[in-house]
Amino acid sequence: MPYVTVGKENSGDINLYYEDHGLGQPVVLIHGYPLSGASWERQVEALLAAGYRVITYDRRGFGKSSHPATGYNYDTFAEDLLRLVTQLQLHNFALVGFSMGGGEVARYLGAYGSKGVSKVVFISSVPPFLLKTSDNPEGVDGSVFEGIKKAVRKDRYAFFTEFFRNFYNADVLLGKRVSEQVMQASWNIAVGSSAAASFACVDTWHEDFRQDLTHVDVPTLVIQGDADRILPINASGLRTARLIKDAQLRVVHDGPHCITWTHADEVNAALVSFLGEGSGKVATARTKAVA
């Protein structure tokens, strides 16, 4: 299995597991919490069929990557991404971040610039700034994040069960766009994460990415469902699209947080069209473009 070494913890290396498939222009897919690169299976298939080289990796603390006790902050996550990009000698590559992965995209560009980056995509992502403050009244009250941390610390396994119900809007979409087995598979991946990562990553969700977004100077696509219960679209995707010059926005009607699974056809069509290949038909009966 391929790994990139991104640091050391005491006597051991910190390694990130990655998969690298296909030929053509590289597309790096960055997963959300509390999953792994395996969560991109529906996008990997579509992008490979469209002629792209597709790279997924597991964030430190998740999936098959190392589970260190520290390093759970976006400066470190962006540096980890840089090490992967450097080891694979990527050029003219696209960055696609889902949920928490959108933070890596924003911080990477904020810290290292867009050299070598062709396009970026934010899917149901955490930027620009989720925490409610005096200069960010659209944000979420800090007590919400503290409650999540308390639940994770008390019983992260029970927390994940409830989390995925809202991740997929199971009360509405179960048996229609998502199965019990998919939710169970997500839970199985989640419980394989480290306890330290499960808890520490919650604080990263309200990182302020507003300054990072000013460095996004490549074509950008923002995709999010208007029924997202994990990251309300008014506090995340709509604002991100407004803050990035000339960003394209696609709102998936009735889409939950994990539109990459429940509305994979719409998401894949948007991705392939935006990246420059495929049919180019993004707007469908369930997907609408917003200026």
pLDDT at 280: 31
Distances from the Cα of 16 to the Cα of 25, 126, 201, angstroms: 22, 22, 17
Decide the pairing of beta strands 248-252 and 93-98: unpaired
CB atoms within 10 A of CB 15: 19
- Say if residue 63's pLDDT is above 70: yes
104-117 per-position pLDDT tens digit:
999 999 999 999 99
Please answer whether residues 219 and 119 qualify as being in contact, where contact means their C-beta atoms are separated by less than 8 angstroms: yes
- Say if residue 278's pLDDT is above 70: no
User: Looking at the annotation, which residues are catalytic?
Assistant: 99, 228, 257
Please answer whether residues 219 and 226 qualify as being in contact, where contact means their C-beta atoms are separated by less than 8 angstroms: no
- Say if residue 184's pLDDT is above 70: yes
Domains in the chain, CATH or no CATH each: 3-290 (3.40.50.1820)
pLDDT at 253: 98
Statement: the pTM of the whole predicted model exceeds 0.85: yes
Q: What are phi and psi of 73, to 5 degrees?
A: -155, 160
Helix orientation angle between 74-87 and 101-112, rounded to the nearest 10 degrees: 80
123-158 per-position pLDDT tens digit:
999 999 999 999 999 888 999 999 999 999 999 999
pLDDT at 119: 97
pLDDT at 289: 38
236-255 per-position pLDDT tens digit:
999 999 999 999 999 999 99
pLDDT at 199: 98
**What does the CA dihedral 211, 216, 104, 262 come to, rounded to 10 degrees?**
120
Rg for the chain, CA atoms, rounded: 18
